[in-house]
Amino acid sequence: MRHRRPQHHFRNGLIALAIAAIVVFLGFEKGIPGRHHYTVDAVFADASNLLVGSSVHPGSPVRIAGVNVGEVAGIGKGPGGTALIGLRIDDAGRPIHRDATARIRPRLFLEGNFFVDLSPGSPSAPDIPDGGTIPVTQTAQPVQLYQVLDAFNSSTRDDLRGVVKELASALDHGGAQGIRSSYPVAPGAFTDVALASQATLGTQPPDLSRLVDSAGRVSAALASHDQQLGDLVGTFDRDVTALASRRQELARSLAGLDALEQGAPPQLRAVDATTGPLRQFVRAARPALEQAPPVLDASLPFLRRVAQLVAPGAVPALVADLGPTIHSLAQLEPKLDELFGLVAPVTACVRTHALPVLDSKLDDGALSSHQTVWEEFLHAATGLASSSQNFDGNGFTTRFSFGLGPDVVSSGQGEQQTFAFGRYVGSRPTKPAQRPPFNPRAACESQPLPNLSAPAHQATTRTVAHLDRDQLAAVAKALLGAK
């Protein structure tokens, strides 16, 4: 008779329970126990909303572009009043960059609860290490219905009803017709708006983010002065109400501004024409103003010294020191009238008659030097001073720029008479036939200027002496200064 082996029902039951427990554990844990997972923390602004009012809980999905890439590992209180949510990311959702953003969004109606919508960031940004943190400036959370109801309190609802009422009144009293009349110009306006919107993007990728960051700082500054902002809104409401109560006067003012705008261009052109001398003055004054700073800097020490002299403590001593000088000047003042009466005619004559003649040029035909009269005088003096050095085989030579008279000294007879010590070629101007009247009381500045272009008087020379060889040698010896 065959013996049957005893069946180990108890052992089989234990194995089945262990396998079921492992399956259930893996189903809830969704992973192998003890395995390390890549986790990042996201900081959200309102901890009370997430910990109490939100349906985000550990195990809520984390999605990138609608695809599950992980789950919420835990929710805790962060620094200050923030909430810290741990996000466990699968390999399919990596890498996560430092400019990544996280938003809490509601799931579909049939799914219920919320999920974390994760944007991994730009590939050019560095990766967030395991255990890194997405800052609060890169997170956002949904607005709950109770928050909306809390914002719309009774005063806000009253204000909203007033806005809707005023909007309806505006549409009833011509606003709708104005909107309808704006349709033909709407395409051009929308084109300009599109260009302006395109311009708001900036020229570089971070320009818009910088603009948003700056706008955030402005909004934060406004939020910190909510009381003043409320007063501003109330004042603006009163101003708008006052304008609405004076709509007819406002319409007439706008019509007057339109007429002013149409009549302004001719008047502005007239004003522009009258400001021509002012523009010329500005252009003329600009170089002086550009040179003024160093001059003013150089004058500052003098002005400081003057300020010290006229200081309240120094004024009595200064007045005491200047007293005798001022007393002497007061005694000298009557005599200055007589002095100025004598000096003024002389300076006027020099200014109106002497200086113009000295600055003019003398026309001497082919012998003209093209130099001014005062230069001719200086050169003539130089020629006289250097005559003792101007010696050649023919003896000393001196050139004079003024006449020597009609007399010449000749050294021979016949053709030798041309070798003369001096020759008179004429004078300018021609000597008048009679002597002009002399009036010592006539003012110099009332007299005509000398005419340097007057015709020259042709000279007639006469020989007053003939020198033989011995006489010529004696003259040469005297000129040389020989013993």
Q: Is the pTM of this model over 0.85?
A: no
pLDDT tens per residue across span 126-167: 888 888 888 888 888 776 666 667 777 777 788 888 888 888
> Taking 60 as the threshold, does the pLDDT of residue 291 lie above it?
yes
pLDDT band at 403 (very low <50, low <70, confident <90, very high): very low
What is the pLDDT, as a whole number, of residue 331? 78
Report, as an integer, the average pLDDT of 25-34.
Answer: 56
Cis check: omega of the bond before 95, within 30 degrees of 0: yes
Q: Which residues pair with 97 in a beta bridge?
A: 127
> Taking 70 as the threshold, does the pLDDT of residue 47 lie above it?
no
What is the pLDDT, as a whole number, of residue 415? 47
pLDDT band at 55 (very low <50, low <70, confident <90, very high): low
pLDDT band at 184 (very low <50, low <70, confident <90, very high): confident
Report, as an integer, the average pLDDT of 215-223.
Answer: 83
Q: How does the average pLDDT of the chain come out, rounded? A: 75
- The residue assigned the tokens 């400019």 is 99
- Least confident window among 80-89, 419-428, 438-447: 419-428
What is the pLDDT, as a whole number, of residue 395? 54
Percentage of the chain exceeding pLDDT 90:
0
pLDDT tens per residue across span 304-348: 888 887 777 777 777 787 788 887 877 777 777 888 888 888 888
pLDDT band at 386 (very low <50, low <70, confident <90, very high): low
Pick the more confident residue, 297 or 401. 297
What is the pLDDT, as a whole number, of residue 467? 64
Pick the more confident residue, 437 or 421. 437
Burial (Cβ within 10 Å: 0-12, 13-18, ≥19) of residue 141:
buried
Distance CA(335)–CA(214), nearest Å, equals 78
pLDDT tens per residue across span 190-200: 888 888 888 77
Percentage of the chain exceeding pLDDT 70:
76
> Taking 70 as the threshold, does the pLDDT of residue 466 lie above it?
no
pLDDT band at 35 (very low <50, low <70, confident <90, very high): low
Pick the more confident residue, 356 or 203. 356
pLDDT band at 400 (very low <50, low <70, confident <90, very high): very low
pLDDT tens per residue across span 97-119: 888 888 888 776 555 577 888 88
What is the pLDDT, as a whole number, of residue 267? 78
Distance CA(463)–CA(253), nearest Å, equals 105
What is the pLDDT, as a whole number, of residue 402? 47
Burial (Cβ within 10 Å: 0-12, 13-18, ≥19) of residue 118:
buried
